[in-house]
């Protein structure tokens, strides 16, 4: 995409910006929470794009003026002008990159809170232990980002790992970062229970779902089957003596969600319904995407739980994301929640791929 292409694209976007301003000026929009949130976020994104674009144009004009002055000044002033030219060239390169990436359309779920689920797959207890460690890394990262975390459901294994965990994250950029975690995570290391020093390979699945508002997903009472049962802990140990655990089954789709985290049956039903709505929204969005582009593979993968996206190789102190060809070393630090260096590289590669796809469409 040439600078001329960028200018044409942004000029054509100004009409859309005026439409957004008109919507925000209409008092009626404040009665629709979802529409207000969507319009406000798009308005904010475009406003930021125009600010960067205007500064980029101004810097290009300053560069042109300074370059013309170089032929008219004495040697002492030329050195000062050259310093300004060098600074402007650096600023222009940064601004152009910012403007290019700002042209990318945002993900429809970027403004949503999310629900994340981790489950061991292959590898038995070692997979459960790694699920617990990755959950801890996500928890630490959420603390760094000042996201609000709420554990919705958790089941521990006998050796201190996790059979499963579901939690919500609320905060700025939660979906835009964590969406890259969806898929199969593979760990290669020597388990603490391995006496022969052999490296084992285990896998866990991570599901990342945008949380749906109640008004977005209509769930009829007659489409639900609700079962209650007694909560249990590791090895079948009873957690409490009341039938507080709840399983909600959505009959039209066959989707089932169970929750036993809380002692209250009402609270467990509420949690199960939140997760069910998120799964139904994910299913609905996947169906819409399939209709719109049946032959297009999303940059973050298919979301298929069988897709291996990342390998954590402890003997080599390396984590590799296979989708984007990105590797980060210092694995112990990453497992303490320092995920941003990995995300920054992934987002850069993903943005470049999406920008190239946008160039081909224009």
Q: What is the pLDDT of residues 143-190, one digit of tens each?
A: 999 999 999 989 888 888 899 999 999 998 899 899 999 999 999 998
Beta-carbon contacts of residue 277 (< 8 Å; ≥ 6 apart): 211, 212, 214, 216, 217, 219
Range of the domain at 57: 3-102
Q: What is the pLDDT of residues 194-248, one digit of tens each?
A: 666 788 899 999 999 988 876 678 888 899 999 888 776 544 444 555 678 899 9
Domain co-membership, 152 together with 71: no
Q: Evaluate whether residue 49 is within a structural domain.
A: yes
**CATH number, domain with residue 29:** 1.20.58
Q: How many domains does the chain have?
A: 3
Q: Evaluate whether residue 298 is within a structural domain.
A: no
Domain co-membership, 123 together with 194: yes
- The model carries a pTM of 0.75
Domain co-membership, 200 together with 309: yes
Domain end marker among 262, 291, 320: 291
Query: Could you tell me whether strands 245-250 and 326-329 are parallel, antiparallel, or unpaired per DSSP bridges?
Result: unpaired
- The per-residue pLDDT for 174 is 92
Domain co-membership, 282 together with 307: no
Task: Report CA-CA distances (Å) from 36 to 28, 231, 282, 314.
Answer: 10, 41, 22, 46
Which of 87, 85, 96 has the alpha carbon at shortest distance from 56?
A: 96
Domain end marker among 247, 269, 291: 291
Domain co-membership, 45 together with 148: no
- The per-residue pLDDT for 295 is 40
What span, in angstroms and rounded, lies between the C-alpha atoms of 100 and 98?
6
Domain co-membership, 31 together with 178: no
Query: Could you tell me whether strands 308-313 and 183-189 are parallel, antiparallel, or unpaired per DSSP bridges?
Result: parallel
Domain end marker among 36, 71, 102: 102
What span, in angstroms and rounded, lies between the C-alpha atoms of 180 and 233?
31
Q: Evaluate whether residue 232 is within a structural domain.
A: yes
219 within 8 A of 241, measured Cβ to Cβ: no
Q: How many C-beta atoms lie closer than 10 Å to residue 65's C-beta?
A: 12
Domain co-membership, 175 together with 310: yes
Domain co-membership, 28 together with 148: no
Query: Could you tell me whether strands 200-210 and 114-120 are parallel, antiparallel, or unpaired per DSSP bridges?
Result: antiparallel
Q: Evaluate whether residue 236 is within a structural domain.
A: yes
Domain co-membership, 10 together with 82: yes
């Amino acid at each position: 995409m040439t600078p001329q292409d960028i200018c044409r694209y942004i000029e054509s976007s100004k009409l859309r910006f005026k439409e957004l301003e008109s919507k925000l000026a209409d008092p009626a929009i404040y009665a629709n929470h979802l529409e207000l949130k969507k319009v406000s976020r798009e308005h904010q994104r475009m406003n930021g794009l125009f600010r960067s674009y205007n500064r980029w144009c101004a810097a290009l004009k300053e560069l042109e003026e300074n370059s013309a002055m170089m032929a008219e000044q004495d040697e002492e002033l030329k050195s000062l002008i050259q310093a300004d030219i060098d600074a402007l060239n650096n600023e222009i390169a940064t601004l152009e990159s910012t403007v290019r990436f700002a042209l990318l359309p945002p993900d429809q779920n970027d403004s949503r809170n999310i629900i994340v689920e981790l489950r061991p797959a292959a590898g038995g207890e070692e997979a459960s232990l790694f699920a617990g460690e990755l959950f801890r890394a996500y928890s630490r990262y959420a603390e760094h980002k000042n996201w609000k975390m709420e554990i919705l459901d958790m089941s521990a294994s006998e050796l201190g790992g996790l059979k499963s965990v579901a939690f919500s994250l609320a905060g700025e950029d939660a979906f835009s970062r964590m969406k890259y975690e969806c898929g199969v995570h593979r760990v290669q290391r020597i388990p603490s229970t391995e006496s022969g020093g052999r490296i084992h390979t285990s896998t866990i699945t991570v599901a990342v779902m945008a949380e749906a508002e109640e008004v977005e997903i209509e769930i009829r009472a007659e489409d639900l089957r609700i079962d209650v049962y007694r909560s249990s802990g590791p090895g079948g140990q009873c957690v409490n003596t009341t039938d507080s655990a709840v399983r909600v089954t959505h009959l039209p789709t066959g989707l089932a969600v169970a929750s036993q985290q809380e002692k209250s049956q009402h609270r467990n039903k509420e949690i199960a319904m939140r997760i069910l709505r998120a799964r139904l929204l994910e299913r609905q969005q996947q169906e819409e995407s399939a209709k719109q582009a049946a032959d297009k593979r999303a940059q973050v993968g298919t979301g298929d739980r069988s897709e291996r996206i990342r390998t954590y190789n402890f003997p080599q102190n390396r984590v590799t994301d296979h989708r984007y060809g990105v590797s980060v070393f210092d694995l112990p630090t990453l497992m303490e929640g320092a995920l941003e260096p990995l995300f920054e590289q992934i987002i850069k590669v993903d943005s470049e791929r999406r920008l190239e796809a946008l160039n081909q469409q224009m």
